[in-house]
Structure 1
Amino acid sequence: MSELLKLENQLCHRFYTLSNAFTRAYRPLLKALDITYPQYVTLMALWETDNVTIAELLDKTAIDGGAMSLILKKLEDKGFLMITKDKTDKRVKRVQLTKAGKEKKALAEDVPAQMLCKLDGMTTEESRTLRDLLDKLGGCFESAERESL
């Protein structure tokens, strides 16, 4: 069997299992907030910059457009945000936090610290290095995607 086809040699499988591990680690923390991880990412983007267009939100979060539609619908149903038409261009929709959505931020403040506690065996420097390497890897895929167009 080719060494390239061995599962233990696959970088993508490590990302797959790590993604699942992150999801499991976040689940109880976010359950207490009554949100899913994709909803959390969307809210974090809105806590940074509120009253943005859906296009800006898609760009900031890198969430698929179809998935984002469902996320926004769920968050709107929960009363955390509202979606309105832009005043200058009715084709553009804007997303704005409600009072409840803004209040959710205070409840989520300790989630990052609780997740850091789960990275007990990793130093701050290792964490930064990993983040930088992941950003670099993402850039490689973006470059390859642009070149294939």
Structure 2
Amino acid sequence: MTDDADLAAKIPNPLALEHQVCFALAVASRNVIALYRPMLEPMGLTHPQYLVMLALWQHAPLSVKDLSRLLQLDPGTLSPLLKRLETAGLIHRRRAPHDERVLEVTLTEPGRALRADAERIPPAVVERLGMPLEELLQLHAALTRVIEITTT
């Protein structure tokens, strides 16, 4: 038996809700996303739209395919988000001049300007969580590892 298997055998009730990684991740995710809501609402963004904007602020222009890959969202989920952001005047979607099959996403001037407001969000979230930054960085690294393991 491996050390991990030995540890698992020591858990008195492995099916107890409080021992489930999926439960802890689901509740933590909902609670952390809820911290973002009051900061995003004045910007006119939902959390999924905020993630799209983060990717665009960092990498624009991006093809829908590349944006889908970065956000790990299927195009069917991403498309309505992009439509709403375009309706809000924050992005443009256009066919790439070099390849009509590629749909490119770019930021509008208001979309670029919104970045200044968004820069206040990460430090506010860290403050609201009340956890040491080093602990949050370790958590981020562990979650990134979980993502890597589960997507390969």
Q: Flag as ranges the 4+ runs of structure 1 deviating above 3 A.
A: none
CA distance in 1, matches of 2:75, 2:17: 31
1:134 aligned residue:
143
Query: Which amino acid counterpart does residue 150 of structure 2 have in structure 1?
Result: F
TM-score normalised according to structure 2 size: 0.88
CA RMSD, 1 decimal: 1.2
Structure 1 vs Structure 2: percent identity of aligned residues?
30
Give runs of aligned pairs for residues 1-149 of structure 1, distance below 5 A: 3-120=13-130, 122-143=131-152
Give ranges in structure 1 of 5+ residues lacking alignment: 144-149
Provide the rounded CA distance (Å) in 2 between the counterparts of 1:6 and 1:54. 41
Distance in 2 (alpha carbons) for counterparts of 1:113 and 1:8: 30
Query: Does the residue aligned with 1:32 lie in a helix, a strand or coil?
Result: helix
What CA deviation, in whole Å up to 9, does each residue of 1:95-147 have, x standing for no partner? 00001101111111101111011121x2222111111111111111123xxxx
Decide whether the 8 Å contact of 2:126 with 2:133 is kept in 1: no
SS in structure 2 at match of 1:85: strand
- Equivalent AA in structure 1 for residue 149 of structure 2: C
Partner amino acid, structure 2, of 1:135: T
CA contact (8 A) 2:57 2:112 kept: yes
Between structure 1 and structure 2, the one with the greater Rg is 2
Q: Secondary structure at the match of 1:79?
A: coil
When the two structures are aligned, how many residues end up with a matched partner? 141
1:31-60 deviation per Cα after TM superposition (whole angstroms, max 9, x unaligned): 010100010010011001111111111111
Alignment correspondent of 2:5? none
2: CA distance, partners of 1:93 / 1:44: 19
Q: TM-score, normalised by structure 1?
A: 0.90
